[in-house]
Amino acid sequence: MTVGSDAQLMIGAQLRGELVDSENPAFDAQRRIWNGSVDKHPALIIRCAGVADVMAAVKFARVTGLPVAVRSGGHSFSGLSVADNAVVIDLSLMKGVSIDPGTRIARVQAGVLLGELDRETQAFGLAVPSGIVSHTGVAGLTLGGGIGWIMRKHGLSVDQLISVDLVTAEGEFVRASAGENAELFWGVRGGGGNFGIVTEFAFRCVALGTQVLGGPLIWPMQQSAEVLRFYRDWIAEAPDDLMTLVIHRKAPDLPFIPEDLRGQPVVIVVCCWVGDIDEGETVIRPLREFGHPVVDHCQPTSYLAHQALFDPSFPHGRWYYYKSCDVAELTDEIIDITAEHSVQFASPLTSFPIWQRGGAVSRIGEDATAFTGRHAGFTFNIGACTAGREGFDAERAWVRDFWSALEPWHQGVYVNFLADEGADRVVQAYGTAKWARLQSLKRTWDPDNFFRLNQNIAPN
Ligand SMILES: Cc1cc2nc3c(=O)[nH]c(=O)nc-3n(C[C@H](O)[C@H](O)[C@H](O)COP(=O)(O)OP(=O)(O)OC[C@H]3O[C@@H](n4cnc5c(N)ncnc54)[C@H](O)[C@@H]3O)c2cc1C
């Protein structure tokens, strides 16, 4: 289906941004998102330059009756930010960021990526908690919650959110904060893009400084079960200044990896210590001394470099597939299943993180925000990656098998790590009590389910 040319002319004339349809030479590049396995052909892409464009785009899309996809950073795992025959409302041109170092408030437009936000906040030694790959969008990440390197000390992205500017399903502008549309503000802190299009976020920045103690320690994957058992005991009492990820993969081709190790299966513990560096060295020492790591690249580094550490491992255009679950603790059974499945994937590009949770995130009430899962112990984000179609199906089957083997211990799932897994999984992500509150909010702000290409909270 195409949008009528008159309608297209009408919206095109109103825009400060850009209209991209299939006739436009830029269409092929613009319809692509981060996950190369997503290959959709929308009817039209409306690249908004500001709030007025977003309001016009929503009103236009209502008239066409076509489904609407919303794109900011384009990192939806399952590709929800583009769809066949849809109108894509694309915010990626909206790059404004301003930091007030006096009030420590960051105002961030929806098209800003994590690395762009970090660049501005770090000029003042400040930070907004966000995620671990710098080309992810602030918008989608924040609307789902936002977990990352400094969350155990400073909470989720939503825990530092002060307000959002939002365009409703009717194309109207509203602001939501603790004092204004408070229930909507509760909902956007975890409820995703269900209630409207956020055009701008205001965050409190935290005083972080510009240095962290961080980086990977690496052991051969044959030692996975021992490393995981030691790791579990070592981090049991870890201070909030420490956040870790455990990664199983084949060693990447990076300068700090010895040549003979590249391509070999390894288990990696990546640390990020945000407190006093000497104190961090003392806390991390037992891990360094465990079982002779083949690489120790954990060192004082800039926060900006640490935030971009994983960028080379997750470039745009590769084929990715993820399934995720939270677990309460790393039991012996979970460790043994992890060790067993980790030696079974084939792709040299596959790498999957186990996230340490807890800390500041868990000290905020479960009902304080729509984000659910504050008491998770660990998050498994089992992911497969291939260069293209070749080998993808086998790798995806590996993800599903591994995820199913962990099923007896599943505790919940972080909504931003959901793939296209059906309506029941979205309910599971929020739990039934919160679901009723979210549905009620959806009925208030989007009774027709205009915003439904998302992890959908259907109004009824
Ligand atoms: C490489 C990679 C690393 C990641 N790392 C982390 C991490 O460290 N921590 C973490 O918490 N998550 C992480 N994620 C998951 C990430 O939070 C989600 O994929 C998120 O949706 C990405 O946001 P985006 O704006 O880039 O994506 P998009 O694909 O643009 O948007 C995803 C969805 O969010 C909604 N949305 C986007 N923008 C808006 C808006 N302005 N208004 C309303 N709704 C909107 C829409 O429903 C859209 O379908 C990662 C994902 C990837 C691919």
Please give the distance, rounded to the nearest whole angstrom, from the Cα atom of residue 308 to the centre of ligand 1: 17
Helices H / strands E in the chain, number of each = 14, 19
- The Cα 34–Cα 55 span in angstroms is 26
Q: Which amino acid is at 442?
A: K
Q: Which tens digits make up the pLDDT trace of 188-212?
A: 999 999 999 999 999 999 999 999 9
pLDDT tens digit sequence for 54-63? 999 999 999 9
Top-level class of domain 5-90: alpha beta
- Identity of the amino acid at 86: A
Cβ–Cβ < 8 Å for 459, 441: no
Could you tell me the distance, in angstroms and rounded to a whole number, from the CA of residue 262 to the centre of ligand 1? 30
Cβ atoms of residues 311 and 351 within 8 Å:
no
Q: Within the chain, which residue ranges are assigned CATH 3.40.462.20?
A: 211-417
Residue 3: pLDDT over 70: no
User: CATH for 211-417, among 1.10.1200.10, 3.90.1170.50, 3.40.462.20, 3.40.50.620?
Assistant: 3.40.462.20
Ligand 1 mean position, distance from CA 225 (Å):
32
pLDDT score at 12: 83
| CATH architecture of the domain with residue range 97-208 | 2-Layer Sandwich (3.30)
| Percentage of the residues of the chain whose pLDDT score is greater than 70 | 99
Q: In a 3-state reduction of DSSP, which class is residue 166?
A: strand
Check pLDDT > 50 for residue 1.
Answer: no
**Is the confidence at residue 2, as pLDDT, over 60?**
no
Q: Does position 150 have pLDDT exceeding 60, yes or no?
A: yes
> Tens digit of pLDDT for each residue in 84-135?
999 999 999 999 999 999 999 999 999 999 999 999 999 999 999 999 999 9
Reading the block at residue 35, the tokens are: 């996950």
Name the residue type at position 419.
Answer: A
Ligand 1 pocket test: pick from 38, 46, 75 the residue with the most ligand atoms within 8 Å of its Cβ.
75
pLDDT, mean over the chain: 97
Residues forming CATH 3.30.465.10 domain(s) in the chain: 97-208
Give the residue-averaged pLDDT of 134-145: 98
Nearest CA to ligand 1 atom 8: 131
234: tokens are 């070592």
* Verdict on whether the full-model pTM lies above 0.85: yes
Ligand 1 pocket test: pick from 33, 58, 71, 166 the residue with the most ligand atoms within 8 Å of its Cβ: 71
Residue pLDDT, tens place only, 219-276: 999 999 999 999 999 999 899 999 999 999 999 999 999 999 999 999 999 999 999 9
Report the nearest atom of ligand 1 relative to the CA of 146: 11
Q: Which atom of ligand 1 is nearest to the CA of 141?
A: 17
Burial 217-242 (b: 16+ CB within 10 A, else e): bbbbbebbbebbebbbebbeebebbb
Residue indicated by tokens 């995981």: 228
In ligand 1, the atom with minimum distance to the C-alpha of 136 is 26
Q: Where do the H-state alpha helices sit in 202-269?
A: 224-235
CATH 3.30.43.10 boundaries in the chain: 5-90
Which residues, judged by CB distance below 6 Å to any ligand atom, belong to the binding site of ligand 1? 33-34, 70-77, 80-81, 91, 110, 131-133, 136-137, 139-141, 143-148, 192-193, 197-198, 314, 416, 454
